Amino acid sequence: MFFIGNVELPMQALRIAVALAGTIIGAYFDLFNKKNVPEAFLYAFIAVAFLINLVAYGANATMYGIGAGAIVFAAFYLLYKFGQIGGADVFIMASIALLLPAQPTLLLISQQPSLLSLPFMLNLILASGISFMAYMLLRSFPVAIKALGTKGKIGKNELSRAFLIVFAFAVFSYFAISNPLIPSNYYIFITAIVLLSLYFTIFRSALNDSMVEYVSSNKVEVEDIIPTDRMDKKLAQKLGFSSSGFSISGGYNKLVDAQTLAKIKKLKSKVPVYSHLPPFVPHILIGLIATLLFGNILLVLGGF
């Protein structure tokens, strides 16, 4: 259901307008309200998206909208519970999925090959991710330069992962160069992705450290994200934090809920918290605009 791309969307202009308006409002709060997007707005956005999906009825569009919204909400809520994204991201992405379960053609500049097309929400996730990576690349240059001059900031684990990436790329390059069916612009694009992956792999630990702050236990709040791999092991065990889990950054994060906060408040020691995480909703907005105009941004960047 989530992977259906060719679904006709009734009342495209209304769907697009509401998706853009809701995301713009969310981005404003994420940027200028200390990443605090009001819950009332988030509930209203997803409720309006659901109602429009029913009002702008289409046999396939409505069914796929509800299905895509549910799948996106479940997937992003799981990431949220593992401390990878904010709660606002879950509601905003699910609202967009309800409104736009397939690629709208109203603003699309050029059609893309159907064999290479992806569902609208996957295109949106890719475009938002690229925007976020570009931002993080620019923001992290001073941290990376400092890490190069600091002994121990680039560990063996980072170098081992970087070696595996280089090895895999070398194998790909061997077949790509000898295969005339693979266009040169596609190879250049893949090379750029690999270089970005190497950069973030090598400086992963330094970048994570730059976003972590040790704060008093009484300053920790619900929905703060704690990197448990940067806590004292005895303290982590005392709080019942697992040393295993899922994290995009490579460590193990704990989302602070009311029960966890009650335990933390009893501590006298400082607690590591991700206090310098960048807002993500603005990148969802950038990704939404790019996807509405170009569809699969990877095909555009790859020269297809």
Tokens of 214: 């040790």
Of 139-148, 162-171, 193-202, 252-261, the range with the lowest mean pLDDT is: 252-261
DSSP class of 219? G
Q: Which residue has the higher pLDDT, 34 or 272?
A: 272
Chain centroid to Cα 209, Å, comes to: 19
Of 37-51, 179-193, 286-300, the range with the lowest mean pLDDT is: 179-193
As a whole-number percent, the residues of the chain with pLDDT over 90 amount to 49
Coil/strand/helix, residue 226: strand
Instruction: Report yes or no: 70 and 91 within 8 Å, Cβ to Cβ.
Output: no
Q: 3-62 pLDDT, tens per residue?
A: 455 678 999 999 999 999 999 999 999 999 878 899 999 999 999 999 999 998 888 889
Does the pLDDT value for residue 245 go beyond 70? no
Residue closest to 113 by CA, chosen among 302, 291, 299, 301? 299
Angle at 260 between CA 252 and CA 273, to 5 degrees: 50
The residue type found at 148 is L
User: 303 pLDDT band (50/70/90 cuts)?
Assistant: low
Q: Give the mean pLDDT of the chain.
A: 87
- Determine how β-strand 212-215 pairs with β-strand 271-274: antiparallel
DSSP class of 5? -
pLDDT at 248: 45
Cα-Cα-Cα-Cα dihedral sign, residues 28, 30, 36, 41: positive
- Determine how β-strand 225-227 pairs with β-strand 212-215: unpaired
pLDDT at 247: 47
Instruction: Report yes or no: 126 and 283 within 8 Å, Cβ to Cβ.
Output: no
